[in-house]
Amino acid sequence: MSNDVQDRFTLNQVSPDDWVIFDTSLSDATLRLVACVSEHDGFVEVRWFRHVSLPTRFLDRTEALDALRATAVPGRNETADREAALVLH
């Protein structure tokens, strides 16, 4: 996995049982939120805020982050592509 994808997504704790995943490749902070991750006994539940073909349950938050990184295309930012298309129209 390239460092671009590795560094692009970050996992940040917001409460003892809740985390958020951010896309650091976006300049607009309001668009950086990718998912919220809530820890439960024995698993985490993920609420995706982007269209991704990933499950909503994982064993732990790191597994969810790794799954997202594995599906991301290096150098491609789909949200930025959509924003550019809106500006052009």
51 is in which domain, residue-wise?
Answer: 3-88
Sites in the chain below the pLDDT cut of 70: 1-3, 74-89
| pLDDT digits 0-9 by tens, 42-64 | 999 999 999 999 999 999 999 99
Average pLDDT, the chain: 84
Q: Domains in the chain: how many in total?
A: 1
Cα 17 from Cα 24, distance rounded (Å): 22
Beta-sheet strands, E only, within the chain? 9-15, 18-23, 33-40, 43-48, 57-58
Contact between 34 and 48 (Cβ < 8 Å): yes
pTM for this model (two decimals): 0.77
pLDDT value at position 78? Answer: 56
pLDDT value at position 63? Answer: 97
